[in-house]
Amino acid sequence: MCPVYSYLHPETGEVFEELVSIKDSNKFFILPDGIKCKRLFSGFSGGIINKNAEVFQKDSDYVKKCKPRFVRFRDGHREKYDPTKHF
């Protein structure tokens, strides 16, 4: 499966997306008319990893939307979920 990358048309300024293999991701995308388009940076940074936080503390809004019955801690124990306590 190929990821989707965004490219910029140098003449029109149009931004478009194409499926391109990872090995070709740093190459220019060449349109059928021969124009080379540069890949745009996606802006994805991978996020910040906090190894000291529990899962429900990293994204408490997402956990609240899921409405879990229990939450599991990094040490393995689990507790009944309480949205006023586990945030």
- pLDDT digit string (tens) for 6-40? 899 999 988 998 888 888 888 899 999 999 999 98
Q: Which helix (H) or strand (E) holds 30?
A: strand 29-30
Mean pLDDT across 66-77: 82
Q: Which residue has the higher pLDDT, 31 or 44?
A: 31
pLDDT at 29: 92
In the predicted structure, residue 82 carries a pLDDT above the cut 90? no
How many angstroms separate the Cα of 75 from the Cα of each of 26, 52, 58, 59?
Answer: 42, 11, 16, 19
pLDDT at 31: 92
